[in-house]
Amino acid sequence: ESYYMDGDLRGYEYDYSVSGKLSTITKYNNYGFTEGLFECDTNGVVVDSVLFVNGTVHYILKDASGKAKIEGNYVNGMKHGFQQLFYHNGKVRISGNYYSNYPDGEWIWYYPNGNISSKGQYFQGEKTGVWEYYDYFGTLTNKSEYKFGKSEGKNLWYFRDGKIDAQIEYFEDNRHNKSFYYANNGDLRVVRYYEFGKLIGYSYQDKNKKLVDTIHTPNGDAEITAYYYTGVMSTQFEIKNGAYHGAYKIYYPSGKLQEERMYDYGEETGPTIEYFPDGKVMRIENYNFGDLQGELIEYNSNGSLRIKEHYSYGLKHGLCEYFDKTGKLINAFLYYDNDVVSIIK
């Protein structure tokens, strides 16, 4: 909730959590520059504040327990210089630099256990170059290239063991040109051809490992079925009006189900389940029109728990637990709107 005049923010800006409670308040002067910050607790009550002198300050905002939550700098009413956000346990959550209100240079996001969540470079507020994304245990899951804030170039997705899951090309935030998808043993599952975000065709290998002639998908409606070079089905899904719709299934080279999910005209909805090659459940999560909702559970290959998290409208909200390879609990945090409010273990 905010007020603009002549394109600039004026007065007070109010930010709310997904539960509807007040989260933060920012005060702007008549020229649109920041002159005050207010931090609220989970009940929407202001617990700390800082007011600027001539728009310049080095500040530390604290949470309801008195621990530092944000440390940063403002110069002439604009974010400028190094800034850090902290978890409830004192570990850094986010760190990076601002230049005249824009993120600039390297930024790093962390999990509450200290492992890196993502890292990359900004230039004048826009993502640039290669960004890397990791899971809670430090395993690389994705490398993405950006140009002027948009996905541009090659994006790589990885299995847990580091092998490539998918190689997808982007142009101005849209899938474009060829995208390759692989099985866990390196076999090609399917090649998709995109044109400015629209799927225009696909192919897969024949028994000689040569790509079959492109199967075109005109008008944005098609039932897609692809195969491994062995003849085993690899992928099956449907698109309507250019969007995923209905069941989406991926199979291992053995023919066993690897992954199943549901879409409603491009929005992922309902349960998504991933399986190990032996058929055991690897991961199960639930979506509500594109947002993670409810419980997410991930398992180790021996069947023991690996991750157990709770989400509300795409944000971590509630108890989140993490386990070692034997299933022993190693970390537990209570989240509120994606922010750790209590450390249980």
**118-169 pLDDT tens trace:** 999 999 999 999 999 999 999 999 999 999 999 999 999 999 999 999 999 9
102 occurs within a structural domain: no
330 occurs within a structural domain: yes
Choose one of 212, 240, 268: the last residue of a domain.
268
Choose one of 63, 79, 95: the last residue of a domain.
79
Per-residue model confidence (pLDDT) at position 30: 80
Q: Let me know whether 258 and 281 are in one domain.
A: no
131 occurs within a structural domain: no
Q: Let me know whether 63 and 162 are in one domain.
A: no
94 occurs within a structural domain: no
171 occurs within a structural domain: yes
309 occurs within a structural domain: yes
143 occurs within a structural domain: no
Q: Let me know whether 157 and 259 are in one domain.
A: yes
Q: Let me know whether 280 and 290 are in one domain.
A: yes
Q: Let me know whether 250 and 284 are in one domain.
A: no
Per-residue model confidence (pLDDT) at position 270: 96
Q: Let me know whether 201 and 309 are in one domain.
A: no
Paired with 322 in beta bridges are 307, 331
Per-residue model confidence (pLDDT) at position 65: 86
Q: Let me know whether 171 and 260 are in one domain.
A: yes
Per-residue model confidence (pLDDT) at position 236: 98
124 occurs within a structural domain: no
Number of domains in the chain: 3
Q: Let me know whether 186 and 217 are in one domain.
A: yes
Choose one of 79, 106, 130: the last residue of a domain.
79
Per-residue model confidence (pLDDT) at position 136: 97
Paired with 79 in beta bridges are 74
Sign of CA dihedral 311, 314, 317, 322: positive
Determine the structural domain holding residue 44 and report its residue range. Answer: 1-79
Q: Let me know whether 254 and 305 are in one domain.
A: no
Q: Let me know whether 252 and 345 are in one domain.
A: no
Sign of CA dihedral 97, 102, 105, 111: positive
Query: Which residues of the chain fall below pLDDT 50?
Result: none
Q: Let me know whether 332 and 262 are in one domain.
A: no
Q: Let me know whether 24 and 62 are in one domain.
A: yes
